[in-house]
Every structure is written in C-alpha cells, then in structure tokens.
Chains A and B, each alone.
Chain A
Amino acid sequence: MAGLSLKGIRKNFGSAEVIKGVDIDIAPGEFCVFVGPSGCGKSTLLRMIAGLEEISAGELSIGGRVVNDVDPSERGAAMVFQTYALYPHMTVARNMGFGLRMNGVPRDVVDKRVREAARILQIEDLLKRKPKALSGGQRQRVAIGRAIVRDPEVFLFDEPLSNLDAELRVATRLEIAKLHRQLDGATMIYVTHDQVEAMTLADKIVVLRAGRIEQVGTPMDLYHRPANLFVAGFIGSPKMNFITVETRSQGDETVATLPDGRTLRLSGAQANQVKTLGLRADQLERAQGDAPLTGVVAVVERLGDADFAWVRTEWGQEIAVRFPGGTTPDPDEPLALRLSGRTHFFDADGIALPEVSIAPAKD
C-alpha cells in the first residue's frame, strides 16, 4: 500500500498541451476516481502514472519515491485496461501468471498466487478457459485478477466497466468496491466518465476538464459544495438546474431578479456578484399560493420510487424537479415551486459563492 503525489504534472503531445499542471495527493489505501468528460485528459493522466506515457513536466512519486523515469513494471502499479487486454491465446491461469512467469518467478509460486487471486474473484472454475469462452463480466474479473496477482502498491483502472451492459456494470461496480475492502484497502485510482461510478466508489473524486483539475473532494463535498458551474453540472443526476439572474442592491440587501421578473432576496457578502442560481431537482418542492417559480409540466419520467418532472418555466427553460413516487403531477399541469434545502450561487465566471444564501423572510 502506498500513497501517490502528483506535483505540477504536465503532458504535451507535440505542441498541444493536454495535461496543464495537475497537483493531487492520494493517501495510502485511498480509492481515488478521476472523472470528467471525454477528452479531459483523465486517461492520459492515468497512463502517465502507469508509465505508459512520458511525463513532460512535474514530479510523480509513488510511496515517496519519484518515479518519473522508472520503468512501468518497476513502479509497483498494476493496470486494468478498458478492453481488458487479455492475451487471447492463453488460458485464464496463464493470462494471470504471465508477467510473473516471464520475470522468473518459480512456477509453484505463480500457481499459488494465481489460485489465491482466483479465489478472491471467484473465478477458480474458469482457470483453464481461454478468454474467448468467457463473458464480458468474467473477462473483467480475469483482468482484475491479473492485476491482483502482481500484488501491486497501486491499482489503476481505466474505465473498466464501460464495455459491460448496464446491469453487469452495477454488479461489477459493487464487486470493485468490495474488492477494495478485501484487499486491505489497497490504493486504487479509477478513471471514468460516469459520475455515478465516481460517486459510488470514490473516497476522493478528482474532476478534470480540458487537462485541468476543476475540484478535488469527497463525493458529498462535490455534490453539496461544487466549486464552480462545471462541477455543479457534472456531478449529480439529473443535471443541476441553472437559472440566470440579475442582481441589484436595494437598501442594505441584494435582490435577484429571475427572467420572468420575480425576485429573490439574497444575503451574504458577495450577493451582488451572483449571476447564476443553481438548484438540484430534489431542492424544489410543490408550493401552494405565491411561489418564486411557476411553470407547466412538460414531460414526466417515472422511475417508481421517484419521478422526475420537467417543468417549463414562463421564460421557456425546462427545469428538472424530483417528486416522491406517486405524487407527481401530470403533463400540462400548471405548477408552483418553492426552493427547499440548499441553493447554489455562482458569479459571472462560474465560480461558486458559498457565502450567499436566500435571505430569511421578513416578518
């Protein structure tokens, strides 16, 4: 088990800079997820940690040792590839033991470690099969088994679930979470574009965009206290509703005007800088009488335990609202909504203004 430290890591492909100075500290035993839209550099960053891509600038240390120029196999990291990368002509057992065998580990030691990994992953009865004869989920396990056999300091996962169907993806996600506990909290770095995977697996999430870190934090940190508009929109499903507002000072308080002319009174030091109001679907409630938001239900998505209604406001924007199952309005029904729970405010640059809040109602 070892921690990692990335200091000012940069990567250039020719003249294009794809990783633009990344600093992350990952504690020993931590499950760290890199998440971001495609092309944000998360896989490149993982491959740089693995040693498959050179580091253009900065310093990478694993377990306190700088490994910028260390061979991939010497870094103590094992990687699970998106496409599994199993050797098609070898049996599962040979696939898992190949690296050890090639490095001169005695056959009986290799066999023992392969059997132990197979036991952890419950693939003992597959050891004699070739990858062709395995299902996607089984191949995934073998790929993970190949990493376990090496007994690495750090496990690296590159979108390991993206080739599985939806049901299997959920099941394997749970397996990986269990595995993390089972392996005495081995350090794991996991790359995904799926924010649900990130939220459910991670101790620490690193949100990346265009080669830069947008925010680092625990899943709940990111959900409740997003640092900017991008993170707020990326984490959570459905996406956070953003409403553009105009602010003006009125006496000693700030008033924010919604696009339809209704107003909200804001408090907090930076209230006059607010440009965007952020509301999650579960932070809106049906209201009676006077309410800050009104609209007409456009579409309803029923999930059983909860439903999502897409409400078209008077200025034409559709906002998502979560209703407990069975209380959902029907399409075309007019609806008044009030804000409940946390609201988020962002300035003109999209940076969160955590001190701003809705002013308490005056008596």
Chain B
Amino acid sequence: MTTASRTPMRRRRPSLLSPRRRRLVVSILLAALCAAWIYPMLWMVSASLKTNAAIFADPGLIPSEPTIENYFRAWTEARIGAYFFNTLFVTIGSVIIVTVAAAMMGYVLGRRQFPGRGLIFGLLVFTLFVPQGYTIIPVLGLLSAVGLGQSLWGVMLATCGGSFVIFVMLFAGYFNQMPDELEEAARMDGVGMVKTFWFVMLPLSQPIIVTVIVMQTLYAWNDFLLPLVVTLANPAIRTLSVGVYAFKGENFVDWGGMTAASTISILPVVILFLFLQRYFIAGLAGAVKG
C-alpha cells in the first residue's frame, strides 16, 4: 500500500490511529478470530496424537506423550484405509461426471435460445429449495431400480446430484457473459458447436472449472447423510465420513481412533484447497463480478 502518497488526503481527517497502527489492531483481532475458528481442528489433531486416557486428562494442545497408535488402529482395525479409497473413488468419479455434465448443460442454457429454456431454468432453481433429506429415499429407489442400490457406483452417481444445479448456474452465468464474437468467429471458421465448446469456450471457463472441482470435491468427500443411507446394508462400501461415525459405539466412544480417522479424512481436502485456493477465489469472484 502506498500510504506515503495518500497522507496529504488523510492528514485532514483527525484519526486516533495511524494507518499502520490500525492495520496492526485489525490484524490482531482477525488473528484472534482465526484462532477461535481453527481451535476445534487443532484439538482434533492434538487428540489424535494422545491415548484415549490422556485426551481428557491432558487438556493442553501439545501432547505430553505423543503417539501414532490411534492412526494404526484406525487405518487397519476400523478399515479407514479401505474407506479412504472408497471415498477417493466416489469423489474422483463424481467430480469428473459433474464437471463435464454441468459445463455442457451450462453452455447450452447460457448461450442457446430454445423453447422452454426459461422453464428449465425455473425447474432447476426450484430444486435448490428441496432439502436433501427429502430426496434421499427417492434417489435410493432410483439406484435400486437400476441395480446400483448396493454398490460404490451407486454412491458415486448419487453424490453427483448434491450441488449440480448450482454448478450448472455458475457455468451458465459465465458462458452467458462471454462475447458472441468468439463463437461467431469459430462459426465463420467452420468449427462446429461441439468443437467450439471443447476448444474455445471450455478452456476459457477455467476459473469456473476449478471452482466446481473444489466445491464438488469438498461436497463428495464430506457428504454424510446420503452415503450413510446407501451404505447402511453394506459396510464394505462405506465412505470416510460414515466410517468415522462408526467409532461412536453405544457405550463407548473411541475418541483417539475417531480423531485420527477424522484427521486422515480432512487431510486431502486441506491439501487440495491450499493448492487451488487462488483459482477457486478467482472463479467465484469472476462469477459474482459478471
């Protein structure tokens, strides 16, 4: 910030704090807020490194006798390892399907005029108001009807539906504000609709693609209710979030195992976000700016 060049303007306004002090105070306040925000996660990581007995006996965040025994137990005995790969399968599959399908649908809705377009938009928006809980049983019914009621493929397909409409809207909004000339230039060049979409429009929607990948990954990785219902009868195809819940027994909660499993489950998401946050924020900001 070029505070020096702005001082002549600022000097006229009496202020208790210089701009530098004000920034310092704001930073401290925000840091405190961040600490409060992140504390549960830190507690979780800390607890995963303590024995079950030490978790409540030793209230500090830094374990006095750190152990990774919880992680071994979670990975092998509680089958978190298997659930991890189940979740990976569901997440990657649903991200691919959702990104491709939402981009294609968004392109058509955002750029093509056809009868019933408004109606389709209306119906799509309407589905946003239906709570997930109401749709789980019909979705399960559909999956059973096509023979996927008890399979990981079924979980993957069902997970695609979570925020699909929002992604379609994001793509439609983005494609809609692209200049017509790009498509017209391609048309003059004799490039068909599919190639224009694939080689011209899709690469230009990169910020939205990244946003959709991140949001769908988060959703698929963390979704609980739907995989719980679908995998109820078949524990082998559980995902991580459902698996973690299994640590809570009727009479005993294995806090050490549960926090270790939780740490394993959030790690990939945190890493992904760290790598993609720049694009992610750019994509959302771009969509809002229009």
**Chain A: residues with CB nearer than 8 A to chain B?**
50-52, 71-74, 77-79, 81-85, 87-89, 98-100, 102-103, 146, 150
What residues of chain B lie closer than 8 Å to A77, measured between beta carbons? 188
In the complex, whether B199 has a CB less than 8 A from a CB of chain A is: yes
What residues of chain A lie closer than 8 Å to B131, measured between beta carbons? none
Q: Per a CB cutoff under 8 Å, which of B179, B191, B204 touches A98?
A: B191
In the complex, the answer to whether B187 meets A73 with C-beta atoms within 8 Å is: yes
In the complex, the answer to whether A71 meets B190 with C-beta atoms within 8 Å is: yes
Q: Per a CB cutoff under 8 Å, which of B190, B199, B204 touches A88?
A: B204
Measured CB to CB, the nearest residue on chain B to A86 is B185
What residues of chain B lie closer than 8 Å to A84, measured between beta carbons? 181
Known contacts A83-B179, A85-B179, A87-B182; A102 and B187 CB within 8 A of each other = no
Min CB distance, B156 to chain A, in Å? 31
In the complex, the answer to whether B185 meets A81 with C-beta atoms within 8 Å is: yes
In the complex, the answer to whether A81 meets B190 with C-beta atoms within 8 Å is: no
In the complex, the answer to whether B188 meets A78 with C-beta atoms within 8 Å is: yes
In the complex, the answer to whether A85 meets B203 with C-beta atoms within 8 Å is: no
Min CB distance, B211 to chain A, in Å? 17
In the complex, the answer to whether A52 meets B184 with C-beta atoms within 8 Å is: yes
Contacts A81-B184, A102-B191 supplied; 20 other A-B pairs, CB < 8 Å: A50-B188, A51-B187, A52-B184, A52-B188, A72-B188, A73-B187, A74-B190, A81-B185, A83-B181, A85-B185, A87-B185, A98-B186, A98-B199, A99-B189, A100-B189, A102-B190, A102-B199, A103-B190, A146-B189, A150-B189
What residues of chain A lie closer than 8 Å to B181, measured between beta carbons? 81-85
17 pairs across A/B with beta carbons < 8 Å? A52-B184, A72-B187, A73-B189, A79-B184, A87-B182, A87-B200, A89-B204, A98-B186, A99-B186, A99-B189, A99-B191, A100-B189, A102-B191, A102-B199, A103-B189, A103-B190, A146-B185
Q: How far is the CA of A83 from the CA of B180 in the complex (A)?
A: 10
In the complex, the answer to whether B188 meets A102 with C-beta atoms within 8 Å is: no
Q: How far is the CA of A102 from the CA of B226 in the complex (A)?
A: 43
What residues of chain A lie closer than 8 Å to B22, measured between beta carbons? none
- Which of A81, A82, A100 counts the most B-chain CB atoms under 10 A from its CB? A81
Q: How far is the CA of A72 from the CA of B186 in the complex (A)?
A: 10
Measured CB to CB, the nearest residue on chain B to A84 is B181
What residues of chain A lie closer than 8 Å to B195, measured between beta carbons? 102
What residues of chain B lie closer than 8 Å to A103, measured between beta carbons? 189-191
Known contacts A85-B179, A89-B203, A89-B204; A79 and B190 CB within 8 A of each other = no
Min CB distance, A335 to chain B, in Å? 51
What residues of chain A lie closer than 8 Å to B188, measured between beta carbons? 50-52, 72-73, 77-79, 99
What residues of chain A lie closer than 8 Å to B185, measured between beta carbons? 79, 81, 85, 87, 146
Min CB distance, B170 to chain A, in Å? 19
What residues of chain B lie closer than 8 Å to A52, measured between beta carbons? 184, 187-188
What residues of chain B lie closer than 8 Å to A100, measured between beta carbons? 189
Closest 10 CB pairs of A and B: A99-B189, A73-B190, A85-B181, A85-B185, A102-B191, A81-B181, A89-B203, A79-B188, A72-B188, A72-B187
Known contacts A88-B204, A89-B203, A89-B204; A102 and B189 CB within 8 A of each other = yes
Q: How far is the CA of A150 from the CA of B185 in the complex (A)?
A: 12
Min CB distance, B182 to chain A, in Å? 6
Min CB distance, A228 to chain B, in Å? 34
Q: How far is the CA of A146 from the CA of B203 in the complex (A)?
A: 20
What residues of chain A lie closer than 8 Å to B190, measured between beta carbons? 71-74, 99, 102-103
Min CB distance, A238 to chain B, in Å? 34
Q: How far is the CA of A116 from the CA of B189 in the complex (A)?
A: 18
Q: How far is the CA of A148 from the CA of B2 in the complex (A)?
A: 48
Measured CB to CB, the nearest residue on chain B to A52 is B184
Q: How far is the CA of A50 from the CA of B185 in the complex (A)?
A: 11
Min CB distance, B143 to chain A, in Å? 39
Q: How far is the CA of A55 from the CA of B203 in the complex (A)?
A: 33
Min CB distance, A62 to chain B, in Å? 14
What residues of chain A lie closer than 8 Å to B186, measured between beta carbons? 98-99
Q: How far is the CA of A280 from the CA of B214 in the complex (A)?
A: 67
Q: How far is the CA of A350 from the CA of B186 in the complex (A)?
A: 44
Min CB distance, B89 to chain A, in Å? 32
* Interface bits B148-183 vs A (CB < 8 Å: 1, else 0): 000000000000000000000000000000010110
Q: How far is the CA of A51 from the CA of B200 in the complex (A)?
A: 20
Min CB distance, A175 to chain B, in Å? 21
What residues of chain B lie closer than 8 Å to A82, measured between beta carbons? 181
Min CB distance, B206 to chain A, in Å? 8
In the complex, the answer to whether A85 meets B184 with C-beta atoms within 8 Å is: yes
- Which of B179, B181, B203, B204 counts the most A-chain CB atoms under 10 A from its CB? B181
Q: How far is the CA of A98 from the CA of B189 in the complex (A)?
A: 8
Measured CB to CB, the nearest residue on chain A to B181 is A85
What residues of chain B lie closer than 8 Å to A98, measured between beta carbons? 186, 189, 191, 199
Measured CB to CB, the nearest residue on chain A to B182 is A85
What residues of chain A lie closer than 8 Å to B199, measured between beta carbons? 98, 102
Measured CB to CB, the nearest residue on chain A to B187 is A72
Min CB distance, A48 to chain B, in Å? 13
Q: How far is the CA of A351 from the CA of B1 in the complex (A)?
A: 65
Q: How far is the CA of A99 from the CA of B199 in the complex (A)?
A: 11
What residues of chain A lie closer than 8 Å to B203, measured between beta carbons? 89
Min CB distance, B19 to chain A, in Å? 34
- Which of B185, B188, B189, B200 counts the most A-chain CB atoms under 10 A from its CB? B188
Min CB distance, B113 to chain A, in Å? 13
Q: How far is the CA of A110 from the CA of B199 in the complex (A)?
A: 17
Min CB distance, B192 to chain A, in Å? 8
Q: How far is the CA of A52 from the CA of B184 in the complex (A)?
A: 7
Min CB distance, A54 to chain B, in Å? 13
What residues of chain B lie closer than 8 Å to A146, measured between beta carbons? 185, 189
What residues of chain B lie closer than 8 Å to A74, measured between beta carbons? 190
Min CB distance, B169 to chain A, in Å? 23
Measured CB to CB, the nearest residue on chain A to B185 is A85
What residues of chain B lie closer than 8 Å to A102, measured between beta carbons? 189-191, 195, 199
